[in-house]
């Protein structure tokens, strides 16, 4: 998803489409990813994690193959469904991690798991640089479809259903009502929505913006690749420091770093600045990808994490409008910079909301290591987070 923008100049040229039309392809693709949390939760209620994973991957592959025959832009809007399929696969895998591991180990495991998206960014960006000049976007999409099938077939082998003990007690009959009355969770979900809107706006349109500034498509692919490499480093760093820094604080710091990196990206006027901003963005965005599930573990009972993740992803669907808005502004102003400024403002709102979440959580004196039975100042031993989750205490 992160390198999908590198394919847009080729689509724009082949289909002779406007900036807003092409930006809508990327926007709908990522909107489908975030809204895919709804069918993903349905599948996880009615089938195994492995089945949901395979169904999601198969849907993504089928859609990429089908739209490769498109003769007009609107057919490519069905990539919305491919995004939804990818979300089903993601949720099936991500929600298993906290059900098998302790809180600190969950941070490490999600960081290592998120390396896959960094590696994928490198692979897809490199493929766009090599396949597009030789084969065009249509044949390239068919190759992507075959790769999706192979990747998900292998990935499904590693999914293991949690035991009843690992899964925790049965979730409440009204999980969404319970979550929506948790004010700190609602603020957190809203912060994610604003932050992802602001983060993905300049990131998604950088291919189109770079082309407008005379930066070649090959250099854009290199920039996306540099993001992929640095994002892997950023996620590895999260796996290390995340064991000692509270996930809420780490995520807030990530928002600040992403804001600064996005400002540099928006102002990039040459290849060197474009690459530098992508490197910084890859490192600082690490917690935004890897730390979401560990943060949810701090805010909601363990048994509600799948439902909480589904709800938390919904506000992020608004980020699908980011490239569309930027394209619309660019068509009227002649520049992508104004749209990027809107994204930076959204990131600022996200920072403020996360600061409030951290303040309220710290005021409640929750402990990140409570599930390991850490000792309080008075010498009493705190209950484990799993025990607290089972009866709703410690939230």
CB 24 within 8 Å of CB 323: yes
HSE-up (13 A, CA, CB side) for residue 318:
16
pLDDT at 37: 84
Adjacent-strand bridge partners of 381: 375
Q: What pLDDT does residue 284 have?
A: 92
Q: What is the pLDDT of residue 158?
A: 78
pLDDT on residue 15: 83
Say what the pLDDT of residue 377 is: 40
Distance CA 326, CA 336 (A): 6
Contact between residue 261 and residue 284 where contact means Cβ atoms under 8 Å apart: yes
Reported pTM: 0.65
Tokens linked to 92 = 């099936």
Question: What structural domains and CATH numbers belong to the chain?
Answer: 4-157+175-367 (1.20.1250.20)
Name which of 96, 121, 119, 120 is nearest 109 in CA terms.
96
Q: What is the Cα Rg of the chain in Å?
A: 21
Say how far apart CA 394 and CA 387 lie, in whole Å. 9
pLDDT for 374 equals 40
Q: Are 29 and 79 in contact (CB under 8 A)?
A: yes
CA distance 198 to 352: 14
Q: What pLDDT score does 346 carry? A: 93
Q: Copy the structure tokens of residue 162.
A: 């949690």
User: What pLDDT shows up at residue 367?
Assistant: 43
Tokens of 93: 């895998």
pLDDT at 109: 73
Would you write out the chain's pLDDT as a tens digit for each of its 395 residues?
556 766 777 788 888 877 778 878 887 888 888 888 888 888 888 888 889 999 999 999 999 999 999 888 889 999 999 999 998 888 888 888 777 777 677 777 776 776 676 677 677 767 777 777 788 888 888 988 998 899 888 888 877 776 554 444 455 667 888 899 999 999 999 999 999 888 888 887 787 788 888 888 778 878 888 887 888 888 888 877 877 888 899 999 999 999 999 999 988 888 999 999 999 998 998 888 788 888 998 898 877 888 888 888 888 778 777 777 887 888 888 878 888 888 899 999 999 999 999 999 988 744 444 444 443 343 333 333 333 333 333 33
Contacts of 238 (CB under 8 A, 6+ apart): 107, 111, 114, 250, 286, 287, 290, 291
CB 2 within 8 A of CB 117: yes
User: Quick one: pLDDT at residue 378?
Assistant: 37
Rounded to whole angstroms, the Cα distance separating 87 from 378 reads 45
């Amino acid at each position: 998803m992160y390198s999908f923008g590198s394919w847009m100049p080729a689509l724009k040229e082949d289909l002779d489409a406007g900036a807003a039309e092409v930006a809508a392809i990327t926007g709908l693709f990522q909107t489908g990813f975030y809204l895919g949390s709804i069918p993903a939760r349905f599948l996880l209620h009615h089938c195994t994690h492995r089945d949901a994973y395979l169904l999601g991957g198969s849907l993504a592959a089928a859609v990429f193959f089908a739209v490769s025959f498109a003769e007009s832009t609107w057919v490519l809007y069905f990539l919305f469904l491919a995004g939804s399929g990818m979300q089903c696969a993601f949720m099936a895998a991500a929600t298993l991690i906290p059900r098998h591991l302790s809180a600190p180990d969950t941070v490490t495991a999600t960081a290592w798991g998120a390396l896959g998206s960094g590696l994928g960014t490198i692979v897809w960006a490199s493929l766009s640089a090599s396949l597009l000049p030789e084969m065009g976007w249509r044949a390239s999409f068919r190759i992507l479809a075959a790769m999706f099938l192979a990747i998900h077939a292998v990935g499904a082998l590693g999914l293991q259903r949690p035991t009843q003990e690992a899964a925790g007690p049965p979730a409440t009959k009204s999980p969404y009502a319970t979550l929506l009355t948790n004010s700190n969770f609602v603020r957190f979900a809203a912060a994610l929505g604003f932050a992802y809107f602001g983060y993905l706006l300049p990131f998604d349109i950088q291919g189109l913006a770079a082309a407008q500034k005379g930066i070649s498509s090959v250099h854009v692919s290199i920039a996306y690749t540099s993001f992929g490499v640095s994002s892997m480093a950023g996620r590895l760093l999260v796996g290390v420091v995340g064991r000692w820094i509270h996930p809420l604080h780490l995520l807030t710091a990530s928002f600040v770093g992403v804001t600064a990196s996005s400002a540099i990206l928006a102002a990039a006027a040459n290849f060197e600045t474009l690459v530098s901003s992508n490197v910084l963005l890859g490192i600082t965005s690490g917690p935004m990808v890897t730390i979401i599930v560990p943060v949810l573990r701090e805010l909601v009972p363990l048994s509600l994490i799948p439902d909480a993740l589904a709800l938390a992803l919904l506000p992020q669907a608004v980020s699908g409008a980011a490239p569309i808005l930027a394209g619309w502004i660019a068509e009227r102003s002649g520049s992508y910079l104004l749209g990027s400024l809107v994204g930076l403002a959204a990131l600022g709102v996200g920072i403020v909301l996360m600061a409030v979440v951290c303040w309220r959580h710290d005021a409640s004196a929750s402990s990140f290591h409570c599930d390991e039975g850490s000792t309080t100042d008075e010498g009493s031993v705190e209950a484990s987070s799993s025990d607290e989750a089972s009866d709703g205490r410690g939230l």
